[in-house]
A and B are shown apart, each in its own frame.
Chain A
Amino acid sequence: MAEIASWKVKTGLAEMLKGGVIMDVTTPEQAKIAEEAGACSVMALERVPADIRAAGGVARMADPTIIKKIMETVTIPVMAKARIGHFVEARILEALGVDYIDESEVLTPADDLFHIDKNGYKVPFVCGARNLGEALRRIGEGAAMIRTKGEPGTGNVVEAVRHMRTVMAEIRRLTTMPKEELMTAAKEMAAPYDLVQYVAEHGKLPVVNFAAGGIATPADAALMMQLGCDGIFVGSGIFKSSDPAKRAKAIVLATTHYNDPDMLAKLSEELGEAMPGLEISAIAPADRMQERGW
């Protein structure tokens, strides 16, 4: 008997995306450029995070028409975003047949206390995290893939670096702990005990971990890969730059060849203007997307 929507099948698709770049796109034309550049997946959106930030107001799930058009245009997997806690938006995305749902802090949260029960869906979920406890809570709710939150729409990699370093340091710390300390560690991180035990034993998350939130250059992508992530999300960084096709391709190659400085030097040449960046301190704490999620 065939078994669909098993944990293996859900986490398995994320395993296949590793070493690749997932790009935010808002039109079928952009999706085609991403696929041509070698993206392993696209995130179908109505607006990229930089524009969501600029527009203000409430950001919601994209119009299904946009998502369907993008699904028809490319053969690579298509992801789409639902608001935190908005389980009906998630059901709609599942009905559309998207390949992954991002329960995302880039959109305005629909619930200020609870995330979606992601175990009850056939489509797998990816969620953002700033630290190990948050990552393990999301996995406990059924997320089959994790990404750092970073600070979306800024073109500033500092928050993604901070979140990746935090997760990695907390993983390393668990691996050196005697067993009797793990329950207290779980309590302090507010993380499920069984997942804390898994991380302590294996020295890694039980799912794939990508970097996201502020990646704008090939060097940024390689930096995140060297810090230990499995792959890259690029949001505004590509289609807010002056030459999206060229930059997209360079970021893809930098993600594969992240340990080859000669190659990275070549890839960084003549890319045109990167997206305009934002200093994190210039964003009021209440406007920081990374603070969303519980």
Chain B
Amino acid sequence: MVKMKKIGVLAIQGAFREHRNTLEKLGVEVQEVRSRENLEGIQGLIIPGGESTAIGKQLEMNDFGETIVKMANEGVPVFGTCAGMILLSKRIDQSNQYSLGLMDTYVKRNAFGRQIASFEADIPIKGWEGKDLRAVFIRAPYVLEAGPQVKVLSEYSGKIIFVRQENLLASAFHPELTDDLRVHQFFLDIVDQYQK
């Protein structure tokens, strides 16, 4: 029997249940990650949307974040959505909050504005066939600058909102809030590539 993939979802705060539901629809075993010990045995990690400062405070404690950085540097794929994109970024505009600093990106928080400016829109993804992706942006960040190893997968009104750097993936929007499974499948394909 083929062994089921096991993906961790960081469950400190935020929309981790929605990521769990989406992954389970794709036939993946999900491990909720609340401490360093829960990182054992996972082949990939998702950092959900939520409040990046609230999540960062707990990653700072007990070598939790350090362990994630080490795993990512060893090739374990990590996917951050919204707050997750901020936490993966090397530099954050006008903030000295904690981040994992894994991706060579410079991000701006609440970049589209406060909740009143939150929106949904159809966006094209580079290299994908089929219909555009319905994307939900909630007090969303975007990428101001991306380093040379960072591949831009999508832009919306001139702003970078979906990026990949080797085993790392980050979106400014929330694929866990819509029924379209393609973004999670795309991440699972990256996990497969790094299994070999």
Contact = CB atoms under 8 A, between A and B. Distances in A.
A255 B34 CA distance: 11
A236 to B, nearest CB: 21
Contacts of A40: 13-14, 50-51, 54
Contacts of B16: 18-19
A35 B53 contact: yes
B120 interface: yes
A2 B120 contact: yes
Interface string B106-124: 0001100011111111000
A275 to B, nearest CB: 23
Nearest to B177: A12
Contacts of A4: 116-119
Interface stretch (A49-57, A93-101, A161-169, A282-290): A93-101
Interface in A84-111: 94, 97-100
Contacts of B169: none
B120 A19 contact: no
Contact of A13 (B17, B57, B83, B139): B139
**What size tier do the contact residues of chain B reach?**
35 or more
B95 interface: yes
A97 B114 contact: yes
Contacts of B138: 9, 12-13, 16
Contacts, number: 119
A97 B110 CA distance: 13
B119 A75 contact: no
A171 B122 CA distance: 35
Interface string A29-66: 00000011111110000000000000000000000000
Nearest to B134: A8
A8 B35 CA distance: 30
A112 B12 CA distance: 40
Contacts of B115: 13, 77, 98-100, 123-124
B18 A15 contact: yes
A7 to B, nearest CB: 10
Contact of B51 (A2, A6, A41, A257): A41
B121 A19 contact: no
Contacts of B13: 18-20, 38, 40, 255-256
A288 to B, nearest CB: 31
B175 interface: no
Contacts of A94: 116
Interface of A: 1-6, 8-9, 12-13, 15-20, 35-41, 75-77, 94, 97-100, 122-124, 252-253, 255-257, 260
